[in-house]
């Protein structure tokens, strides 16, 4: 793989990472509630999901899903249902009336739970399988060994994906003191919940084509 091809791929992934999505919302929520250190686990969960989707695409699952309507629909509904669950959970989160303090929130959420949530959100969109299946072949030189090229593309994706998860989490964490001081953290949860519910609706209702 020549440098120009890699640079073009990196730019494409960068544009995808910048665009807001479910993982960006989750990263911000984790950054506010759990802090930057625990958000590292969020990043690992996101990257792990992406790597699994890449492997599935490389194994041909993306091509199978593109021709198997029912399999795609089932995965789409499962992903939408999980996003809906997260949205409802955040939307109806309770305020204890004593104010919200970051130091109290950072004691909640086990590493396993944070990872599981990030992984599930990351893997809940079956369209990513088709995306990887469509994107990778555009940057692979078939005249050269494919495995080293796939590893380079996967590593590049992982670094950029992890970096932007941490950027979103860190920016949100910087805002956390202002939100807690002004008693607005509870409303941020509700806003995040509304976003997740909206994204769930878009995932479920959008056209498969």
The total of other beta-carbon atoms located within 10 Å of residue 182's CB is 10
pTM for the structure as a whole = 0.68
Give kind and range of the element (H or E) at residue 166: helix 146-181
* Token pair for 209: 């084509």
User: Are the beta carbons of 17 and 116 closer than 8 angstroms?
Assistant: no
What is the residue-averaged pLDDT of the chain?
Answer: 75
Residue with tokens 């911000």: 28
Closest CA relative to residue 9, chosen from 167, 107, 168, 151: 151
pLDDT classification of 106: cutoffs 50, 70, 90 = very low
Closest CA relative to residue 116, chosen from 146, 159, 73, 86: 86
Q: Which of 72-81, 178-187, 193-202 has the lowest mean pLDDT?
A: 178-187
- Distance (Å, rounded) from C-alpha 158 to C-alpha 28? 19
Angle of CA points 30, 32, 37, to nearest 5°: 65
- Distance (Å, rounded) from C-alpha 197 to C-alpha 90? 10
* Token pair for 185: 């953290």
pLDDT classification of 188: cutoffs 50, 70, 90 = low
User: Any idea where the domains of the chain sit in the sequence?
Assistant: 39-93+107-205
pLDDT digits (tens, 9 = 90+) for 140-166: 776 788 788 888 988 998 999 899 899
Residue 3 has pLDDT above 80, yes or no: yes
């Amino acid at each position: 793989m020549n440098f120009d091809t890699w640079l073009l791929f990196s730019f494409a992934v960068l544009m995808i990472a910048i665009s807001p999505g479910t993982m960006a919302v989750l990263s911000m929520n984790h950054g506010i509630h759990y802090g930057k250190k625990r958000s590292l686990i969020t990043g690992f969960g996101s990257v792990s999901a992406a790597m699994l989707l890449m492997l599935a695409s490389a194994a041909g699952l993306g091509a199978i899903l593109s021709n198997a309507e029912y399999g795609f629909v089932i995965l789409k509904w499962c992903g939408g249902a999980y996003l809906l669950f997260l949205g409802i959970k955040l939307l109806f989160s309770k305020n204890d009336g004593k104010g919200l303090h970051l130091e109290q929130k950072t004691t909640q959420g086990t590493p396993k739970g944070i990872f599981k949530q990030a992984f599930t959100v990351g893997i809940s969109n079956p369209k990513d399988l088709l995306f990887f299946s469509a994107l990778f072949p555009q940057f692979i030189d078939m005249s050269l060994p494919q495995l080293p090229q796939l590893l380079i593309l996967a590593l590049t994706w992982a670094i950029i994906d992890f970096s932007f998860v941490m950027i979103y989490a860190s920016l949100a964490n910087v805002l956390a003191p202002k939100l807690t001081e002004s008693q607005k953290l509870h409303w941020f949860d509700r806003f995040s919940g509304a976003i997740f519910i909206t994204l769930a609706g878009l995932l479920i209702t959008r056209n498969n084509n």
